Structures are given as structure tokens and as C-alpha cells.
């Protein structure tokens, strides 16, 4: 069993659902942290979902992020199973950056 520490990051340049991280086949991932930073001096919102096949689960819906602020979305680790996808959606384009810290176990 191999453990790989890595991160996934995205600059939300649109208001479309954007893939932040996809758990690889034959892998379990532990998401330790999801940081959201607002860099335009305007408060905004973010939505985080977990997709498993055709099922979509809402983890955060319109979570507030203050102007020039940073928010940690997780208060405990989040476990992803093979092929599950984390997606983020910004309330407004070109304001939010998202970084997830993950441990991949193969």
C-alpha cells in the first residue's frame, strides 16, 4: 500500500461547476483540508459537491467567503472512494481560489 501526499488547486474563473479533485481508480483518498480564498475584495459564496456516479451530494451550499478572507471548509477529514469527484462552484467568476490537501492511498 502506497501513501502519497498531494494537493489539488483551482482558480474559479467561471460560475460553472469545476472539478477540484477526482479520486483515482483503486484508490482511497483522505481530504485533510479545503481552503477557499477570496482575492478581489468582494465577499462571495462557494458551493462544494461530491459526485459518485450520477449521484451528486451537496457538502456546502452557498458558503460565505468574506472579502480578502480565507475559509477552511472542513472541520474533520473527508474520505473519498475510487472515482468520486469533488466539484466547486463560485457565486461570482474570478474571485475565488481553492486548495485541497489530500492523502492518496493505493
Query: What pLDDT does 1 receive?
Result: 73
d(CA 23, CA 102): 10
d(CA 52, CA 45): 23
Query: Which residue, 15, 48, 27, is CA-closest to 106?
Result: 27
Give residue 54's region: left, alpha or beta (phi > 0; psi -120 to 50): alpha
Bridge-based pairing state of the strands 44-52 and 55-65: antiparallel
pLDDT of 23-63, one tens digit each? 999 999 999 999 999 999 999 999 999 999 999 999 999 99
Domain ranges for the chain: 3-105
Q: Which CATH number is 3-105 given? A: 2.60.120.340
Query: What pLDDT does 104 receive?
Result: 98
pLDDT of 68-77, one tens digit each? 999 999 999 9
Query: What distances in angstroms separate CA 86 from CA 7, 44, 51, 67, one per listed residue?
Result: 13, 19, 6, 24
Entry pTM: 0.95
Amino acid at each position: 500500500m502506497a501513501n502519497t501526499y498531494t494537493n489539488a488547486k483551482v482558480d474559479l474563473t467561471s460560475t460553472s461547476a469545476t472539478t477540484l479533485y477526482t479520486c483515482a481508480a483503486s484508490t482511497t483518498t483522505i481530504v485533510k483540508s479545503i481552503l477557499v480564498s477570496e482575492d478581489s475584495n468582494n465577499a462571495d459564496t462557494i458551493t462544494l459537491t461530491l459526485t459518485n456516479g450520477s449521484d451528486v451530494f451537496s457538502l456546502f451550499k452557498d458558503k460565505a467567503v468574506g472579502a480578502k478572507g480565507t475559509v477552511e471548509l472542513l472541520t474533520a477529514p473527508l474520505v473519498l472512494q475510487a472515482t468520486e469527484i469533488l466539484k466547486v462552484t463560485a457565486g461570482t467568476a474570478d474571485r475565488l481560489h481553492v486548495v485541497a490537501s489530500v492523502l492518496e492511498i493505493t
